[in-house]
Amino acid sequence: MLKQRPLAGSFVFAWILLLGSGFRLCAQDQGNDSPLEFKDHERIVFLGGSLFENEMESAYLELAIASRWPDRELTFRNLGWTGDNVFGQARSTYTSPPTPYQQLFQQLRSTRPDYVFLAYGVVEAQKGEAGLDEFTRGLEVIIDSIDAMGAQTILLSTIPVKLAGTPENTVKQNKNLRLYSDAISKTASKRKKRFINLFTPVSQHKAAVYSYNGIHLNEEGYYFLAQVLERGLGWPSRGEKVIVDASGNGKKASFSLEEKMLPLPVPTTGQAARDEAVFVQIRGLKSGNYTLTENGKALVTAPAADWAKGIVLKKGISQTLSAQLSDSIAWKNELFFRQYRPLNRTYILGFREYEQGSHKQGLQDLNILIGRLEQYINQHRKPVRKTYELSPAN
Amino acid sequence: MKLISASWPARILVVTTLFAAACSGNQEDRLKNLPEDHPERELASFEIAEGFEINLFASEPMVEKPIQMNWDAQGRLWVVSSTAYPHLKTGEKANDKIYVLEDTDGDGTADKSTVFADGLSVPTGVLPGDGGAYVANSTEILHLMDTDGDGKADSTRKILDGFGTADAHHLIHTFRWGPEGRMYFNQSIYIYSHVETPWGVRRLEGGGVWKLQPKTLELDVYAKGLINPWGLRFDPYGQSFLTDGAGGEGINYAFPGATFVTSPGAERILRGLNPGQPKHCGLDIVSGRHLPESWIGSLITNDFRANRVNRFQLEEQGSGYASKQMPDLLWTDQVAFRPVDVSIGPDGAIYIADWYNPIIQHGEVDFFDPRRDQSHGRIWRITAKNRKLVPKPTLTDDSIEELLDALKVPEAWTRTQARQLLKERGAEEVAPVLQQWISELDEKDPDYERLKLEALWVSQAINTYNGPLLESLFNAKSHQVRAGAVRALQLWHEKTGNLEAILQKVATDPHPQVRLEAVIALRELNNADGAKAALAVLDQPMDEFLDFALWQTTRQLEPMWMASLKSNPDFFGDPAKTAYALKSAASPEAIALLTQLYKEGQVPGQYSQDALSAIAKRGQIQDLNDILDVAIAGFSTEKRDVSAELGAVEAAARQRKVYANKQPGRLGDIIKGPNETSAVAAMKVAGVLGVKSLESLLGSMIGHENRNYARTAMYSLAAINPARAQTLIKRKTAAGNPTDLRIIAVSELAAINAQEAARAGVVLINELDSPEQVPQLFDAFLPDRGRVQALGNVLADTRIPEAAAIAARQHIQKAIPWNRQEEEEVKLLIKGLEASGGVLSTGPMSQDLNASQIKAIAVEAEQTGDPVKGEMVFRRNELTCQNCHAIGGAGGLVGPDLSSLGTSSPTATIINSLIHPAESIKEGFELQRISRNDLSELLGYLVSDRPTEIVMRDVSGQEVSIPKDNIKAWEKVPGSLMPPGLTASLEKQEFLDLVSFLTQLGESGNFRVPSDRFVRRWDVLSASDELTQTFISDGAGAVANDLSLSAMPDYSTVSGVLPLEELPVVKTSSGAQYSFVRFRIEVLTSGEVALDLNDQNGIQAWAEEKEVAFKDGKLVVSLSQGTHVITLAIDRVKREQAPLSAKLIEGSAQARLVMGR
């Protein structure tokens, strides 16, 4: 709900109708759990393949969770590794032991998670039906291990591909990816874990959500995925609707807002999802063009008819804050990446550590930088109160 | 230098005058006044091959720390650079750059530098193309574009990611266009990559070459292995070559599936073409009109450690090549000159990227060591004197016809750029014109067929299938064109209708290069007939490359042809082919078939050893019983040597615990038989199989006058009945037996009862003839902690002669690796020896130095060390340097080859390595510990990691193979096999001399391994009684012919000579004095081998038993394929001291000198 206060001044101000959206992105076919609520000081870990590694840069999923409770301190560790499978195959290094599989669990344990979002199956699906049992067994081992750590597992489905080389291969791959998605869903039911179906909404989504290679998501894809995730966790959308009746005056309106949480940053190339941003409808205006200012700064100019239909605010202070937050999270993610997958690992942590092992200290020191950034991130998740004024455009 | 900075943000530097001052003043004085790292001083330090000159093309700040470079079609040089290398500081944001260098006025120096991109993170490859440039950026490949024409990238597209980053100097690198428009690039040993592509996940662990179609993102592994594959180039027919920045085999010939050293899990590897060569980075192949005609086809690569640019010449040899090193193109003593890439430019000149850094070690020197240079970098340009430059091609605005005509020019640069531009113009525009262009080619043009191959590549680059063109090239007269066409077919196999028929035909091509490509292409058939067609190459001569490819194809198609073979044993239509396929196969059922074939005598002689070794590795009990039958029958009916078959039975039992059990008592006849090798092999089998019925026979042989019999009998008896063996062997340790038998008995007893053996051994020590026998006695105890303890206990209470104690103490120092020297048992043993006076003489050279003392010693060594004396110290036997380290490929292989140590390592680092060997380890020399299932351990270096076994090189340099299912744990352990304190016995000046020698290694002069193929690895015959006897009674020829005479390895000096004064001399009563030395030559193709000796005075030579005469001062001998032993008798009356050198020179045979320890 938005907090609103009538402003003093010359404006005649009738009433503002504030509506939280009851919007559902799509029906979840699994797990009608109660909305998931994170508690103060909890640690959330992303473990999987490219779906999570690619998320580090845009940080949509993390931001979606981090901004939901601006007063609760949450920390995140992203252990996504491109090409990985439930056997940690992509975590291989020249130094063995630890084997890639041991690395997987060492890395997971070292993050001390309270919640683990688990996204595997995309790589395994290439083996089709034949690899299904092996995959499920591997997945369950990871779940067992998360259970043993006293943490909660949240399973994510696979996502479909747009183009896997040829059209024929695309059909085949998507069939397999759905098969694995179903298997993950089944495992979730069996193990009584939360499951979020990404496959169906992504396959139904019409916008261009794939990156150049046709198999990974782009920025818009992650923007959309964050929304799917929020619905999957039972969270209401961030969209807020402001309805202002200006019919008393017909020429001016003003209001102030303080959103409950920051919006998801609108992708540079994409449109703001209507239900994810502030939607302003101003009725009763006399015809003509009107400009809405935010803290005195022009934001949108539109004819009265458009204001009456409603306009989505895709820029503004909240968006700026949100974009800054996203940058901070991404930089923090990069620092963590450098710590757990360091350049020159062979010489610092690997079997040639007797040569450059002194630089372990440098990796340790990253904790200080990461900690400071997390502090900064936690302090910059709150929306601020803004004053809006609508007046005829010059 | 005057710099004008302009136009932010693209940061364009315009250099108007370079070295303007060079024209005036006293050159020498002026140079002295310049800072040491000034480009002009570096320029002045260069030495260049006759007929060439060098100029500076660009230097800092126009370019910094260049790593790789490539040209665009406009003739601009794109250079990727990293100042963040080798390691980002904590929290540092990387800001590495791509520079674009231009020579706008054509004067041979760059006058414009544009920063195309910045903010990159340790980028290591750049390749212009497709409207921008592909860039290697740590985990990812990016395609950067400048869409608004300001010279700076403003659009970034991630092409692929998932490339490993565990080592900043091995990241994906060396981007090059292949002839068919695919992008090729390398990664190195510590990089483990897992890349998700639309076509599936692609993984490459360790070194190798990737092949990418950037448009469709099809990604494949083209070749695997090498330690740091750095150079990568294609010749005019599409054949590819690699160099290795950390290997030592010079030029490597690569083709699809080629697998080289260090590739994880590789069962077989290919060798490089120049074993014993320095390490190389960058590679280009000379073409075009500017450089001298005699240089066309030469490979130019950089010995960056030794600050040199090398040249190699290739010659076709079978399906591959022989490579010969030619005199260097460029060299300098300026240690910061680090040529890392080489590329011939649009003007036909050779451009060298100079990373400019005194420090090149990645791991051994601290990442943030202040001596690392972070700001300099040069591009040098080498031109041929008095030869016209190639007019700079202007291709970008050319019509399609003009671009196609550009494929006719001799410059690879122009052809590569034209192909790339044609690819970018696309099929719609290019295809129709291309067809017309082909039809108008002049059939009489000597280049006609090659141009059609070019047309084929263009068709592939624009993805337009042209079956008739492809098929017409299979009938080309040029085998290179035919081979190129078969390679192209691999890309189009799905589109070619009559694929099977074509492949069957090309597999019988008269030229082996074509057959090699056919064997590879046949994998695409993915059926049994593919294997059958591939095996047809066995009807024609084979060579190592063809054999490798055929083995790989046979392996890949194994499930298909095995199914066919099982239903039709005559599927391949020829037992030899069947045998080849089966010996190459991995499955146990294949081994069963192979065994049957072997039993029936159908395995041809040349495959029988391979077949037996396959059966030993993978055979079941039944198979080994069959082999035992063959051995028994072979002995009784054919009276032949059956040691090979028995060796297989023994190996299966010993390594895999697969015991043959069919009437093993039959071995008795072989043991009693006349053939020593068979008898000894049979004894070993009897032992490992535990044949009770042969116990008495073995027992009767433990005192055999042939000590080989005696030792084997003891060993095998101990395996069958340890209690009885102990009683019998112990008797042989007692006084009254000959000393040599007593030593053997103690050694064998040690394995059964360490306490008894220790007691007997210590008694024996007191009675030895000479302290030289001590090591042999001790060797039986040292490998095992329990035995060391037993010996230590006895020695704690018993005194032995001081000379023996000293000999033992010295031996322990060498024979026990450093990380065992601290074991309690070893300390106990040492204490006991010291009590008997076995104290190591320590010279005044302290081994306990801290960093600042090492620094001081380094300065002292640089000032007062004498490298000539140092080399003599290095060669001393007691220092054992050469047991582990080779120079120029000759010497031990346990540690790194030291040929260019001095040019790659600072003096202090070298001293540190001598004093604290465990603190810095080269790639490939990581110590590994294998724990076997029986809890025994092996410490050594990994030679190869194959699917079912690993091969290790142990401390003594021996290769040991261990089946993987026998391995309990396998880990890499930090540290070195080099014991600390090796130099402890040196006087300080000797130490300084040694250090001085080591720091000179690789520098110009007598301490640089010459490119001539000198014999470097010798066997020096000991002046034994046996030798003297043979010489006196039967003459020198008999000595040459008797390979059982005892010999010690020796090595040439760095400059390639064998100092004669070090050799033992046989003296006869008649006053004759002779020394005998041998060396080995591996002949790859039969023909005449020629050797050039520095002085033929007093030399007689034999190839095996055949005496070789001097012809025009050279030794010339006709040799068949295989390894041959050359023996030289040196008349020491005539040649008392003068050093001897022998150099392999051109002959009709293709031959290599055998190197190693």
DSSP-derived secondary structure for B499-553:
HHHHHHHHTT-SSHHHHHHHHHHGGGG-SHHHHHHHHGGGGS---HHHHHHHHHH
The closest CB to that of A95, out of B159, B972, B975, belongs to: B972
> How near does any CA of chain B get to the CA of A220, in Å?
15
* For B86, nearest residue in chain A (alpha carbons): A344
Using the Cβ of B197 and the Cβ atoms of chain A, whether some distance falls under 8 Å is answered with: yes
Q: How far apart are CA B347 and CA B102, in angstroms?
A: 13
**pTM (2 d.p.):** 0.82
DSSP B347-389: TS-EEEEE---S---SSSS-TT-TTS--S--EEEEEEETT-PP
Mean pLDDT of B325-331: 93
Q: How many CB atoms lie within 10 A of CB B4?
A: 9
> How near does any CA of chain A get to the CA of B47, in Å?
35
> Which chain B residues contact residue A123 at CB under 8 A?
196, 201
> Which chain A residues contact residue B918 at CB under 8 A?
354
Extract the tokens encoding B781. 């105890």
Q: How far apart are CA B323 and CA B283, in angstroms?
A: 14
Lowest mean pLDDT segment, chosen from A38-47, A180-189, B141-150, B959-968: B959-968
> Which chain B residues contact residue A176 at CB under 8 A?
none
Q: Where do we find the tokens 């901004």?
A: A67
Contact A356 B367 (CB under 8 A): yes
Extract the tokens encoding B323. 């490579």
Extract the tokens encoding B923. 């790639």
* For A53, nearest residue in chain B (alpha carbons): B162
The closest CB to that of A352, out of B139, B159, B363, belongs to: B363
Contact B194 A169 (CB under 8 A): no
- The larger pLDDT score, comparing residue B754 to residue B1048, is at B754
% of chain B surpassing 90 pLDDT: 63
Suggest the residue from A210, A347, A353, A361 to mutate for an interface test with chain B (most B CBs closer than 10 A).
A347
A304: three-class secondary structure by DSSP: helix
Q: What are phi and psi of B827, to 5 degrees?
A: -65, -40
With a cut of 80, say whether residue B263 has pLDDT above it: yes
* Residue partners of B548: CB distance under 8 A and separation at least 6: B258, B259, B268, B270
> Which chain B residues contact residue A335 at CB under 8 A?
91
With a cut of 60, say whether residue B678 has pLDDT above it: yes
- C-beta of residue B219 within 8 angstroms of C-beta of residue B200: no
> Which chain A residues contact residue B168 at CB under 8 A?
343-344
Read off the amino acid at residue B1148: S
* For A361, nearest residue in chain B (alpha carbons): B90
Measure CA A246 to chain center.
37
Q: How far apart are CA B155 and CA B135, in angstroms?
A: 13
Q: Band the pLDDT of B143: cuts 50, 70, 90.
A: very high
> Which chain A residues contact residue B362 at CB under 8 A?
347
**B1062: which DSSP letter?**
G
**B273: which DSSP letter?**
S
Q: What are phi and psi of B531, to 5 degrees?
A: -65, -40
Mean pLDDT of B137-147: 97
% of chain B surpassing 70 pLDDT: 96
Q: Band the pLDDT of B950: cuts 50, 70, 90.
A: confident
Res B975: pLDDT: 64
B683-B687-B693 Cα angle (round to 5): 85
Mean pLDDT of B5-16: 42
Suggest the residue from B85, B167, B202, B463 to mutate for an interface test with chain A (most A CBs closer than 10 A).
B167
Q: Tens digit of pLDDT for each residue in B189-246?
A: 999 999 999 999 999 999 999 999 999 999 999 999 999 999 999 999 999 999 999 8
> Which chain A residues contact residue B189 at CB under 8 A?
94
Mean pLDDT of B659-663: 96
With a cut of 80, say whether residue B1089 has pLDDT above it: yes
- End-to-end Cα separation, chain B, in angstroms: 53
With a cut of 70, say whether residue B20 has pLDDT above it: no
| Tens digit of pLDDT at every position of chain A (394 positions) | 344 444 333 333 434 444 444 344 443 444 457 899 999 999 999 999 999 999 999 899 999 999 999 999 999 999 999 999 999 999 999 988 899 999 999 999 999 999 999 999 999 999 999 999 999 999 999 999 999 999 999 999 999 999 998 999 999 999 999 999 999 999 999 999 999 999 999 999 988 899 999 999 999 999 999 999 999 999 998 988 899 888 877 788 889 998 999 999 999 887 888 788 889 999 999 999 999 999 999 999 999 999 999 999 888 999 999 999 999 999 999 999 999 999 999 999 988 888 899 999 999 999 999 999 999 999 999 999 999 999 998 7
Q: How far apart are CA A197 and CA A85, in angstroms?
A: 19
Q: How far apart are CA B910 and CA B902, in angstroms?
A: 8
- C-beta of residue A1 within 8 angstroms of C-beta of residue A260: yes
Res A6: pLDDT: 40
Question: In 3D, which of B276, B245, B275 has the Cα closest to residue B338?
Answer: B245
Contact B166 A94 (CB under 8 A): yes
Q: How far apart are CA B714 and CA B938, in angstroms?
A: 24
Mean pLDDT of B767-782: 86
Mean pLDDT of B84-107: 94
- C-beta of residue B686 within 8 angstroms of C-beta of residue B698: yes
The closest CB to that of A82, out of B157, B196, B919, belongs to: B196
Res B22: pLDDT: 43
Mean pLDDT value across chain B: 90
- C-beta of residue B990 within 8 angstroms of C-beta of residue B873: yes
B1036: three-class secondary structure by DSSP: helix
> Which chain B residues contact residue A218 at CB under 8 A?
none
- The larger pLDDT score, comparing residue B729 to residue B863, is at B729
* For A82, nearest residue in chain B (alpha carbons): B162
Suggest the residue from A57, A58, A334, A344 to mutate for an interface test with chain B (most B CBs closer than 10 A).
A344
Using the Cβ of B130 and the Cβ atoms of chain A, whether some distance falls under 8 Å is answered with: no
Mean pLDDT of B720-732: 95
- C-beta of residue B212 within 8 angstroms of C-beta of residue B225: no
The closest CB to that of A83, out of B157, B162, B165, belongs to: B162
Give CB contacts under 8 A, 24+ apart, made by B795-798.
B795/B762, B795/B829, B795/B832, B795/B833, B795/B835, B795/B836, B796/B828, B796/B831, B796/B832, B796/B835, B798/B762
Contact A165 B919 (CB under 8 A): no
The closest CB to that of A350, out of B89, B166, B367, belongs to: B166
Suggest the residue from A328, A355, A358 to mutate for an interface test with chain B (most B CBs closer than 10 A).
A355
Q: How far apart are CA B60 and CA B54, in angstroms?
A: 18
* For B92, nearest residue in chain A (alpha carbons): A335
> Which chain A residues contact residue B88 at CB under 8 A?
338, 343
- End-to-end Cα separation, chain A, in angstroms: 33
> How near does any CA of chain B get to the CA of A91, in Å?
8
> Which chain A residues contact residue B167 at CB under 8 A?
344-347
Res B955: pLDDT: 64
Res B935: pLDDT: 63
From residue B811, give the alpha-carbon distance in Å to each of B816, B833, B879.
8, 11, 11
The closest CB to that of B87, out of A216, A343, A352, belongs to: A343
> How near does any CA of chain B get to the CA of A92, in Å?
6
Q: How far apart are CA B183 and CA B816, in angstroms?
A: 50
Res B1045: pLDDT: 82
Res B45: pLDDT: 94
Using the Cβ of B87 and the Cβ atoms of chain A, whether some distance falls under 8 Å is answered with: yes
Q: Band the pLDDT of B1034: cuts 50, 70, 90.
A: confident
> Which chain A residues contact residue B973 at CB under 8 A?
351
Strand stretches in chain A, DSSP E: 15-20, 43-48, 75-80, 115-119, 152-156, 194-196, 240-245, 253-257, 278-283, 289-294, 297-303, 311-313, 386-392
* Residue partners of A133: CB distance under 8 A and separation at least 6: none
Contact A95 B217 (CB under 8 A): no
> Which chain B residues contact residue A354 at CB under 8 A?
918-919, 921, 974-975
Q: Band the pLDDT of B51: cuts 50, 70, 90.
A: very high
Q: Tens digit of pLDDT for each residue in A111-139?
A: 999 999 999 999 999 999 999 999 999 99
Q: Band the pLDDT of B842: cuts 50, 70, 90.
A: low
- C-beta of residue B1017 within 8 angstroms of C-beta of residue B1048: no
Q: How far apart are CA A112 and CA A102, in angstroms?
A: 16
- C-beta of residue B219 within 8 angstroms of C-beta of residue B185: no
Res B924: pLDDT: 65
Q: How far apart are CA B595 and CA B578, in angstroms?
A: 12
Mean pLDDT of B1014-1018: 90
Contact B87 A365 (CB under 8 A): no
Suggest the residue from A169, A340, A346 to mutate for an interface test with chain B (most B CBs closer than 10 A).
A346
User: How many Cβ pairs closer than 8 A exist between chain A and B?
Assistant: 141
* For A49, nearest residue in chain B (alpha carbons): B196
Extract the tokens encoding B766. 């007191």
The closest CB to that of B194, out of A83, A164, A359, belongs to: A83
Lowest mean pLDDT segment, chosen from B190-204, B345-359, B641-655, B1009-1023: B1009-1023
* Residue partners of B291: CB distance under 8 A and separation at least 6: B344, B348, B350, B384, B387
